[in-house]
Amino acid sequence: MESQLGLIEQSLNSSYSLWVREALDEIPDNFTITDPCICGHPIVFVSRGFLKMTGYSKNEVIGKNGRVFQGPKTCRRSVMEVREAVREERAIQLNLLNYRKDGRPFWMLFHMCPVFSKEDGRVINFIAVQVPLSRKARRSGSVFCRNGVILSGEGSMINDVVYGSCRKEVRSDSLLELGPVLALDSALDSDVTELEIEEPCEASDLDKIRAASAINRVLSVLTHYSESTGRLVCGKRCYLSALGLLSSSLTISLGRIKQSFVLTDPHLPDMPIVYASDAFLKLTGYSGQEVLGHNCRFLNGEDTDSSTLYQIEESIKMEQACTVRILNYRKDKSSFWNSLHISPVRNASGKIAYFVGVHMEESCNDQGGRGLSPEMRQLSTVGAVKIAVRSSSMGAGSSKS
């Protein structure tokens, strides 16, 4: 798990430079930043406000998935909606019941949005802002602030269905006009009453604006600091996904599969690796950057049997699965007998999208055991990858209403 922590540490630094944390720390809102490219989709940054609100310490939050804040009474449908938004790489705003460290639940307005790489349109991070909801804000159709300005009248969203209306994305352009309103929002922080947990509560317009403006504050910091590393990011996808690039939802589903495997894309020249599991990197000694974009042949060496390679090539050509025993080499030049299973993997259209190669070192007889043979683990990995690819390749584009 050490490497995992390293990845989390590096996640922000490599995209936004070392100084970004300081700037993010100055933002008063409650938010987290997650990295979908790391296995488990962990939180890589957490704001002070968030820690104060939930009662956790920083170390307890970094590296965790956002689900740790959910509990038995968290609405499953809402969780599913969030998952779907992650899958479709879009923004979402809804009410969610979360839990503090001491187990006390609280309602909050959850606003999440993706951060895209300007270069290739890949999702680099997700920002998730949480605005705790108070009964006070909900009860009043209009909200009075200290200076007596009425912020929202009949326009409040009290009658809106929780899951319907909140989904619309808040456009950053429209927020500029609301600037003066935003200055007042901190006035509402004092003496908030806890809501009855049983009844889902609605967010006021003001809550929604607060969430959206917090998102914008974080986004502008990230955009600014991404300039210093040359890896520019933005809040809107500005480049159609490059061919061969995995969606973050697929990366997340694949991350749950613990075995050693790679995905290669037969539609790209030289069939490069587009995904390599942590266990594969551990087995071979390479880093992700060293293998992604490369053909698997770097595993071969002088004693690798060429007839086996031919056999693999043939079955790929025939779009068939095959199992071989092949001598492969690690980064440190040490060799190992690789029990390799290769299988075509189809997407939701039924077309072959990738080939999965499950690599297992032969001498490791006892792969955790529990009655499962290495062959079973190998085949179950293929099954799990097939399901993951089939699910994440569906939806976008076909179901927009």
Partner 1 sequence: MVRLKQLEDDNLLAKSEMPKQSKFPQFFEGIKIPLYCFGSQSLMGREPFGELPCISEDEESILDTLLLAQWEDRAMKGIFRYDVTASEIKAIEGRKKFLAQLNEGWNLDHFPKREENKTFHQEDVFRDELLFGIASSEKTNPELIPSAAVPDHAFLVFINASPVEYGHVLLVPHHSNSVYQFLDASFLEMAVRLGVEINNCCFRLFYDSSPDASHLHFQACYFPNPLAVELMPVDTIFGDLQTWMRISVVTDYPIKTLLLESHQKFKMMMEILVKMCSFLQEMRISYNLLISDCGKKIFLFLQQQKSKDPCSLSAWECGGYFLFKSRSDFDQATERTMLKRLSSVSIDDDSFKAVKLLCCRIASKFGI
The nearest distance, CB 181 to partner 1, in angstroms, is: 32
Question: Is residue 246 close enough to count as binding partner 1 by CB under 8 A?
Answer: no
Name residues whose C-beta falls within 8 Å of residue 161's C-beta, 6 or more positions apart in sequence: none
Q: Which of 22, 60, 65 is nearest to 43 (CA)?
A: 65
Task: Give the span between the Cα atoms of 364 and 366, in whole angstroms.
Answer: 6
- Binding segment for partner 1 (CB under 8 A), chosen from 13-21, 236-244, 263-271, 346-354, is 346-354
How far is it between the farthest Cα atoms of the chain?
A: 83
* Cα angle, residue 322 at apex, residues 316 and 324 outer, rounded to 5°: 115
b/e map 259-274, b = 16+ CB within 10 Å? bbbbbbbeeeeebbbb
Select 142 or 380, whichever has its Cβ closest to partner 1: 380
Length of the chain counted residue by residue: 401
3-state secondary structure 102-130: CCCEEEEEEEEEEEEECCCCCEEEEEEEE
- Binding segment for partner 1 (CB under 8 A), chosen from 212-220, 277-285, 329-337, 380-388, is 380-388
Residue with tokens 């509402």: 188
Question: Is residue 371 close enough to count as binding partner 1 by CB under 8 A?
Answer: yes
Q: Distances in Å between the alpha carbon of 245 and those of 32, 77, 268, 269, 395?
A: 25, 29, 11, 14, 17
Is beta strand 261-264 parallel, antiparallel or unpaired with respect to 105-117?
unpaired
Helix (H) or strand (E) holding 389: helix 374-392
- Binding segment for partner 1 (CB under 8 A), chosen from 55-63, 225-233, 292-300, 385-393, is 385-393
Question: Is residue 282 close enough to count as binding partner 1 by CB under 8 A?
Answer: no
The nearest distance, CB 114 to partner 1, in angstroms, is: 19
Which of 136, 231, 237, 390: binder of partner 1 (CB under 8 A)? 390
Residues 156-195 that bind partner 1 (CB under 8 A): 161, 163
Question: Is residue 269 close enough to count as binding partner 1 by CB under 8 A?
Answer: no
Question: Is residue 321 close enough to count as binding partner 1 by CB under 8 A?
Answer: yes
Select 96 or 233, whichever has its Cβ closest to partner 1: 96
Residue 90 burial (C-beta neighbours within 10 Å; 0-12, 13-18, 19+): middle
The nearest distance, CB 244 to partner 1, in angstroms, is: 20
Select 256 or 297, whichever has its Cβ closest to partner 1: 256
Residue with tokens 């209009």: 142
The nearest distance, CB 337 to partner 1, in angstroms, is: 21
Select 226 or 248, whichever has its Cβ closest to partner 1: 248
Tell me the torsion sign for CA atoms 186, 149, 151, 154.
positive
The nearest distance, CB 94 to partner 1, in angstroms, is: 13
The interface mask with partner 1, positions 58-97, x = CB under 8 A, is: -------x-x--xxxxx-xx-xx--xx-------------
Select 32 or 378, whichever has its Cβ closest to partner 1: 378
The nearest distance, CB 264 to partner 1, in angstroms, is: 17
Q: Which string of DSSP letters, residue by residue, matches 267-315? A: TSTT--EEEE-HHHHHHH---HHHHTTS-GGGG--TTS-HHHHHHHHHH
Select 65 or 228, whichever has its Cβ closest to partner 1: 65
Which of 189, 199, 305, 375: binder of partner 1 (CB under 8 A)? 375
Question: Where do contacts with partner 1 occur on this chain (CB under 8 A)?
Answer: 65, 67, 70-74, 76-77, 79-80, 83-84, 161, 163, 198, 256, 258, 321, 343, 345-346, 348-350, 368, 370-373, 375-380, 382-384, 386-387, 390-392, 394-395, 398-401
